[in-house]
Amino acid sequence: MHDLLGRVIETKVTDQNDDFYIVQRDGFSFLFAKQEADHQLGIGAQIIGFAYENESHQYQITTNIPKVQVGHYAFGTVVRAAHGLGVFVDIGLPNKDIVVSVDELPTIAALTPQKGDRLMISLVIDDKNRLWGHLADSEIFTAISRRATPKLVNQDIAATVYRLKLAGTLVLTDDYYLGFIHPSERDHEPRLGEHVAGRVIGVRPDGALNLSLKPRAYQAIDEDAAQLLAALNHDPMKQLPFTDKSSPVAIKEYFGISKGQFKRAVGHLLRLRYIEQSETGLTLTKAGEQAGHDNQ
């Protein structure tokens, strides 16, 4: 049985009941659901399918063959966690989820996969003929990845976390590029298996991406500051003759905001070093100009 489970095997029909055909291989019997057959099967008919033990601890064959198998890695979706055991992963079987042992998961609870997260796994069988999920290692992700090009810089990108390290987070993007997220480019550490959205901030010589989960500068500022930044960018001299001494009426007429809102927006942009302030007005810095271009 150890050499049959978790694999695609060929079997023969030997019997049937109301719901299942009984099929055999090497003296072992399996159930094959009649609803999977497109016509009635006779004794001796051959069935090629995936062999597994269902949730009722019965051996079964299905022709709905999952991509995850013994020796074959693919993504499965986490459906639930069991304290002290691990997480259950849906790989497409009708009545069986696969457990990834707690021994393979992060020890910090906040970093363990949650429902809806994705894990790339293959199947392994223990000495009691039980199927377990085994996480893919970095070599597997490298083997299936593509090489990135510089044209991806500054593009939005989505990715799945596949390894957590002290140096940062390793991910595989939806387009199968490898990515790295430095701790300084995230507000919190993502979970193993979490699907994250970020942007490309660099392409490494080996073709992997450096990613950031932080918003672009213009996304991190409020609407009033963004409006002020846009106004400075549209001015040919990148300057505006407004200061904290300007009249509330003039500010309201030009920007459509109160003087208090104006002062808060100026303070925000000064802290980001997007503008400089003098007695005659505001001047856009190069960093502010770049932030304004990112917003276009």
CATH of domain 74-136: 2.40.50.140
What's the CATH number of domain 8-62, 2.40.50.330, 2.30.40.10, 2.40.50.100, 3.40.1160.10?
Answer: 2.40.50.330
Topology of the domain comprising 218-294: Arc Repressor Mutant, subunit A (1.10.10)
Check pLDDT > 90 for residue 169.
yes
Query: What is the percent of the chain with per-residue pLDDT over 90, rounded to a whole number?
Result: 77
Determine the pLDDT at residue 272.
Answer: 82
Give the mean model confidence (pLDDT) for residues 19-36: 94
Question: Residue 27's Cα: distance from chain center in Å?
Answer: 43
pLDDT digits (tens, 9 = 90+) for 182-198: 999 998 999 999 999 99
pTM of the model: 0.73
Task: Determine the length of the chain.
Answer: 296
Instruction: For residue 293, name the pLDDT band (cuts at 50, 70, 90).
Output: low
In this model, does residue 222 exceed pLDDT 80?
Answer: no
Q: Is 212 exposed, middle or buried (0-12, 13-18, 19+ CB in 10 A)?
A: middle
Mean pLDDT of the region 142-165: 94
Q: Do domains 74-136 and 218-294 have the same CATH topology?
A: no
Q: Which CATH architecture has domain 146-212?
A: Beta Barrel (2.40)
pLDDT over 90 (residue 130) = yes
Strand, coil or helix: what is 48?
Answer: strand
pLDDT tier at 255, thresholds 50, 70, 90: confident
**Contacts from 170-174 at CB under 8 Å and sequence distance 24+?**
170/138, 170/141, 171/196, 171/211, 172/120, 172/141, 172/144, 172/145, 173/209
Reported in sequence order, the residue ranges of the chain that DSSP labels E, i.e. its strands, are 8-16, 20-25, 28-33, 46-53, 59-62, 74-82, 86-90, 98-101, 118-125, 131-135, 156-165, 168-173, 178-181, 195-203, 209-212, 239-240, 275-277, 282-284
> Which residue shows structure tokens 């693919």?
74
pLDDT tens profile 239-252: 999 998 899 999 99
pLDDT (0 to 100) of residue 47 = 95
pLDDT interval class at 200 (50, 70, 90): very high
Q: Cβ distance 239 to 275 under 8 Å?
A: no
pLDDT in tens, 45-74: 999 999 999 999 999 999 999 999 999 999
Q: Residue 93 corresponds to which amino acid?
A: L
* The pair of three-digit structure tokens given for residue 61, joined into one six-digit string: 């064959």
Averaged pLDDT of the chain:
92
**So where are the chain's domains?**
8-62, 74-136, 146-212, 218-294
Mark 26-47 as b/e (b = at least 16 C-beta within 10 Å). Answer: eeeebbbbeeeeeeebeeebeb
**Rounded distance between C-alpha atoms, residue 244 and residue 235, angstroms:** 19
The mean per-residue pLDDT over the stretch 228-236 comes to: 89
What are the tens digits of pLDDT across the range 260-291? Answer: 999 988 988 898 888 999 989 999 998 888 77
Model confidence band, residue 214 (pLDDT cutoffs 50, 70, 90): confident
CA torsion angle 200 271 186 222 (round to 10): -80
What is the reported pLDDT for 225? 84
